[in-house]
Amino acid sequence: MDQLAVPDFSAGAMENWGLITYREAALFYAPDVSSEADKQRVTNIIAHELAHQWFGNMVTMSWWDDLWIKEGFATYIATLGMEKMCCKWNAYEEESLDNMLAILSTDAYCSTRPIHQPVTTANQIGGLFDPITYRKGAVIIRMMHMFIGDMAFRLGLNNYIERQAYGNAKQEDLWQALTQIAHDHSSLPKDLCLQTIMDSWTLQKGYPLIKVRRHYTNKCAVISQSRFKLQPEQQPNARQDQLFEQKRQYCWLVPISYTSELAHNFNSTEPQVWLRCTPKGEPLPLRLRYLPGEFEWIILNVQLTAPYRVDYDSCNWRLLIDALKGLDFQQIHVLNRAQLIDDAMTLAWTGQRS
């Protein structure tokens, strides 16, 4: 594989098969002068372009509306490669968190768009090279990796690449290959397929806010979802299309993993339950049972698997805040500590928490 730095190259890099070209600055690294962060940046871009040899080159999207598959995979696979190469960087956790927090911020605006975006004219193509394609693409691929497990993810991708090699593919081809393996490995309920789950994340814009209301005497909780927006729902003088958008019902198939203070299982990212939708696409609330009592916190979205925010009832928030302020705060996984702080600050910003 030849890699070439090109003066005044306009893009950061281009994954041409057999001859990857880079903007000169993207490859600059001098051991005595450059920082560790420079080394990480150069490694990241090389890993991204190498990942494209499979995702983009060996299998190319059929049309630009599936651009996110090659860019999402290149972004995500690059972090796996960096983690393998130099674990002291902690690249997998850092990059995953960076992508997740960026998306939880930008994808909460009304002006956001779905990852899978119809493209009918040439001038729509350039606009697709944005954080939704790269970062949200990587975020939902990581979510899928975590909910079907490593073995099914690897075998499913092998099947997908073998079937589609030297040709074109749509996102449906990817879901088909992964569903088959995930069902064979019992890592996905038989009544769910990847297409139904992932369509809810790729065809709808935004992401959900999950509300958790615990019933401490019954040791259960009711969880429900609605689209999270940074801006108010109703806007004065809204146009007809904006009014339609305000009334539109959003619903995602959400993998729900959770743990509690005593169970303390931050290693298992596979969902205990799925938050689902009615056949008409309306959100269905769900009851979590066998939860601990009033002196123990619970936390959803182990290791920040899926892009959603969580708003607990005041009592559970208080238990979590006390845990974060205590000496033993590291009992909560670092990614979930970041999640709690980001969710609390954002919900305060929107006036949903004080």
Q: Residues annotated in the binding site for Zn(2+), as ranges?
A: 48, 52, 71
The helix or strand, by DSSP H or E, that contains position 178, with its residue range, turns out to be helix 171-184
Minimal distance, residue 194 CB to Zn ion, in Å? 23
The helix or strand, by DSSP H or E, that contains position 5, with its residue range, turns out to be strand 2-6
Name the active-site residue from 15, 24, 49, 172: 49
Please say which residue, 61 or 332, places its beta carbon nearer to Zn ion.
61
CA distances from 125 to 116, 168, 253 (A): 12, 18, 29
Please say which residue, 65 or 71, places its beta carbon nearer to Zn ion.
71
Minimal distance, residue 45 CB to Zn ion, in Å? 9
Please say which residue, 71 or 83, places its beta carbon nearer to Zn ion.
71
Show Cβ contacts of residue 336 under 8 Å, excluding neighbours closer than 6 positions: 266, 299, 301, 302, 303, 304
Total Cβ atoms within 10 A of residue 130: 15
Please say which residue, 27 or 286, places its beta carbon nearer to Zn ion.
27
Does residue 189 contact residue 255 with C-beta atoms inside 8 Å?
no
Instruction: Give the contact letters, 48-77, x = binds to Zn ion (CB under 5 A), - = no.
Output: -----------------------x--x---
Give which of 256, 258, 264, 257 is closest to 323, Cα–Cα. 264
Q: Which residue positions form the known binding site? A: 48, 52, 71
Tell the residue number behind the tokens 């909560």, with chain if given: 332
Please say which residue, 18 or 31, places its beta carbon nearer to Zn ion.
18
**What residue number has its CB nearest to Zn ion?**
74
- Total of chain residues touching Zn ion, rule CB under 5 A: 2
Our answer to whether residue 233 is catalytic in this structure is no
Please say which residue, 168 or 186, places its beta carbon nearer to Zn ion.
168
Residue 237, sorted as left (phi over 0), alpha (psi -120 to 50) or beta, turns out to be left
Cα angle for residues 170, 171, 173 (degrees, 5° grid): 70
Minimal distance, residue 60 CB to Zn ion, in Å? 13
Instruction: Give the contact letters, 73-112, x = binds to Zn ion (CB under 5 A), - = no.
Output: -x--------------------------------------
Residues 151-180 that bind Zn ion (CB under 5 A): none
Distance CA 338, CA 97 (A): 8
Distance CA 289, CA 287 (A): 6
The helix or strand, by DSSP H or E, that contains position 322, with its residue range, turns out to be helix 314-325
DSSP tag of 103? H
Please say which residue, 71 or 199, places its beta carbon nearer to Zn ion.
71
Cross-strand bridge partners of residue 21: 4, 14
> For every residue of 20-84, which 3-state class applies, written as one string?
EEEEHHHHCCCCCCCCHHHHHHHHHHHHHHHHCCCECCCEEECCHHHHHHHHHHHHHHHHHHHHH
**Encoded tokens for 351:** 């006036």
Show Cβ contacts of residue 116 under 8 Å, excluding neighbours closer than 6 positions: 65, 66, 68, 171, 202, 203
Minimal distance, residue 71 CB to Zn ion, in Å? 5
Question: Interface with Zn ion by CB under 5 A: which residues?
Answer: 71, 74
Q: Which residues are annotated as catalytic?
A: 49
